[in-house]
Amino acid sequence: MKRLIALLMAAVLALGLTACGEKKEPTAEQITGRYGLSNAWDSLMPYNSPSGSNYTRIICDKIYDRLAYVHADGTLDPRGATSWESADDGMAVIFHLDEKAAFHDGTPVTAQHWADTITLMTDPNCPALGRSVFSVLAGTDENGVALEGEQLGAEAVDDHTLKLTFKRPTTPEDFLLDKNREFYVLPTHLMEGVDPAQIMELDLWDAPVGSGPCKFVEEIPGSQLVLEINKDYQLGCPDFDQLVITVMDKSNLLPSLISGDLDYYAFGGNVSVEDAETARASGLEVVEGEVPNTFYELMLNCETIPSAEVRRAIDLALDKEALCLQSTQGLGEPTATDVTPGTEYTCSLTWERDVDQARTLLEQGGYDGRTYTLACTSNRSGLASLMQQELAEVGMNVTIETVDSAALFSGMADGKYDMAIASHTPGALPLWFTESRLSEGNNIFHIADLEPYTYYIEQISAASGWETRQVLLDKLQELLADQRPFIPLWFGRTLHVQSPTVDNIDYPSSSFSNENIWAWKMKEA
């Protein structure tokens, strides 16, 4: 028996130590920034990410450079580009690139790298994922694929001047607010001569070379990423030497911050009201966000709920105040629209619960007493129960199905569910939500005729002045209020737990999937 136990222990020790056998030892004097993340990134190649999630974006934000830095309030700061201006009567934007920018292998970043990146990713043979972001550029189709025989709207005017030409008038601000987080510069000098069809197979993506504020060191995919600070980054560098990003359960992020085992966690050290009390009691400072960073909606299936009256009845039956309070604990405002408050665009629509009117509308809509299925993720089952009770008050039957995100979106897309609760990071542009949701390629609300919506969306996109856009936006919002293909619920703000060890973190801007890591400074002990 002793022999058996000894053998077992030896085997465990020997095999277990393989876990640390081949690692390089960090030098003793290295200062490490420890960063927590509750979900894993997928690919370190930004245009090969199946999820296209914010978790992947926030990692790519460290390794690769973008044109600008977007603040939570919609203001912009230079990053890869030092300045920008409109050209060609608003059909193009000229970016003046930072001449100090360089890839991690020392090669200077030029406008040609940017143009080549876009050319390569829009190449029909390149298996890039999520390339519909390039569809705003001239010379591409609606999926962002370059059209044969047409001039692609990405041109290197000189070494440090990049010109992007669009299909319709676009201001630099509109472009950057909407697309900055999807536009990265890749080291195209390391891909010369490679068949675009083989780009994603390159070993380069196992140890990516970018021009961002951090250099890749090593990765345990889906679990841990070690990055070295790029001391030559054009905007500066933090006063630590490496950044270790660890994926762990959400429940351990705040305890790790309190115990000093993390310096920061994404996104922006977000914390619930209850946990904020714990953080404060542990001596951490908690700051309330000033800009809405979540938008909640109730997605509706217009095929199974075909009557606009019934959909409007659902809107009137829901007590958004109570739902918002339950979800945000006072850090949110109910809404009748998807237009983000605090931006330059407004919406005069208001919301008020009206149970009697909801009952009347249900009758008018011919509701036959059928039971609808409401899908939600497990953390929103409380919200779903409240909704169920509120809808029961007006005589609507609802059953709740608790599923994970993949099943929820899949179930809505294939028409299995009648309604589902979802949340998004709101944008400052008037079409941040509707342009992608009300399109042929992503008709998750199963709207039979998208044309009335796409008409306004096209008009708003093509309009150049704020006033014209606002008028058109009002008309689109009236149409949405009349048809109610989805129900806007509320905009929520968040609480940010301040790092006990690092200063200068721009917490709210992480909602735009960018972080000013170059400015982070370790606090003096």
Partner 1 sequence: MGRYLRRRLLTAIPVFFGITILVFCMLNLAQGSILDLMGEGSGATDADRAALAASLGLDLPLPQRYLMWLGDLLRGDLGVSYANGKPVAGLIAQRVGPSLLLTGTGVVLAVAIALPLGVLAAWKPRSGWDKAASALSLISFGVPGFFLCLAGIFLFSVTLGWLPANGMYAAGRFSGVADLIRHLILPAGVVCLSSVGELVKQTRAACLEALGEDYIRTARAKGLTDGAVMVRHAFRGALIPVLTTILSHIPHILGGSVVVEQIFGWPGMGSLLFSGISGRDYTVVMGVTVVIALTVLLTNLLLDLVYGLADPRVRYGKE
Contacts of partner 1 in 347-386 (CB under 8 A)? none
Instruction: Establish if 464 lies at the interface with partner 1 (CB under 8 A).
Output: no
- Angle, in degrees to the nearest 10, between helices 381-393 and 308-317: 110
Cα 253 from Cα 264, distance rounded (Å): 9
Which parts of 320-339 interact with partner 1 (CB under 8 A)? none
Comparing CB distances to partner 1, the nearer of 259 and 389 is 259
Binding map of partner 1 across residues 443-462, x = CB under 8 A, - = no contact: -x------------------
Cα Rg of the chain, angstroms: 25
Can you tell me whether residue 414 is helix, strand or coil? coil
Contact between 470 and partner 1 (CB under 8 A)? no
CA-based angle 439:441:444, to the nearest 5? 70
Binding to partner 1 (CB under 8 A) within 131-150 occurs at 131-132, 142-143
Beta-sheet strands, E only, within 403-494: 419-424, 486-492
Tokens of 53: 């999630």
CB of 234 to partner 1, least distance (A): 26
- Which member of 148, 149, 192, 251 binds partner 1 (CB under 8 A)? 251
3-state secondary structure of 119: helix
Site of tokens 């105040």: 321
Dist. CA 383–CA 270, nearest whole Å: 20
Q: How far lies 522's CA from each of 192, 241, 266, 504, in Å?
A: 40, 11, 17, 9
- Residues in contact with partner 1, counted by CB under 8 A, come to a total of 85
Query: Distance between CA atoms of 276 and 283, rounded to whole angstroms?
Result: 11
* Segment near partner 1 (CB under 8 A); pick from 66-74, 389-397, 400-408, 446-454: 400-408
Span near partner 1 by CB under 8 A; candidates 84-92, 198-206, 453-461, 495-503: 198-206
- Amino acid residing at 177: L
Site string for partner 1, 143-182 (x = CB under 8 A): x---------------------------------------
415 in contact with partner 1 (CB under 8 A): no
Pick between residue 89 and residue 249 the one whose CB is nearest to partner 1.
249
Q: Binder to partner 1 among 29, 406, 448, 449 (CB under 8 A)?
A: 406
| Segment contacting partner 1 by CB under 8 A, of 82-90, 363-371, 438-446, 464-472 | 438-446
Q: Which stretch binds partner 1 (CB under 8 A): 42-50, 266-274, 459-467, 502-510?
A: 42-50
Site string for partner 1, 8-27 (x = CB under 8 A): xx-xxx-xxxxxxx-xxxx-
CB of 109 to partner 1, least distance (A): 25
Q: Among 76, 200, 287, 519, which residue sits at the site for partner 1 (rule: CB under 8 A)?
A: 200
Task: Work out the number of other CB atoms within 10 angstroms of the CB of residue 396.
Answer: 22
How far apart, in whole angstroms, are the C-alpha atoms of residue 167 and residue 488?
Answer: 30
Nearer to partner 1, 89 or 449 (CB): 449
**Alpha carbon separation from 67 to 54, 111, 130, 213, 423 (Å, rounded):** 18, 11, 18, 13, 27
- When the beta carbons of 279 and 362 are compared against partner 1, the nearer one is 279
Per-position DSSP letters for 19-32, written without gaps between them: HHHTPPPPPTT--E
- Is 344 a binding residue for partner 1 by CB under 8 A? The answer is no
Q: Which stretch binds partner 1 (CB under 8 A): 71-79, 186-194, 239-247, 450-458?
A: 239-247
Q: Where are the alpha helices (DSSP H) in 79-141?
A: 111-121
Smallest separation (angstroms) from partner 1 to the CB of 187: 18
Token pair in block for residue 143: 């999926």
Q: 93 - beta bridge partners?
A: 86, 164
List the x/- string, 58-97, binding to partner 1 by CB under 8 A: ----------------------------------------
465 with 473: CB under 8 angstroms?
no
Of the two residues 355 and 400, which places its CB atom closer to partner 1 in the complex? Answer: 400
3-state helix, strand, coil in the chain (%, to 5): 35, 20, 40
- Restricted to residues 209-238, the positions that interact with partner 1 (CB under 8 A) are 218, 220-224, 226
Stretch 254-293 residues interacting with partner 1 (CB under 8 A):
255-256, 258-262, 282
User: How many other CB atoms sit within 10 Å of the CB of residue 388?
Assistant: 16
Which segments within 348-503 are labelled E, that is strand? 371-376, 397-402, 419-424, 486-492, 495-497, 502-503
Q: Is 393 in the site for partner 1 (CB under 8 A)?
A: no
> Is residue 123 involved in binding partner 1 (CB under 8 A)?
no
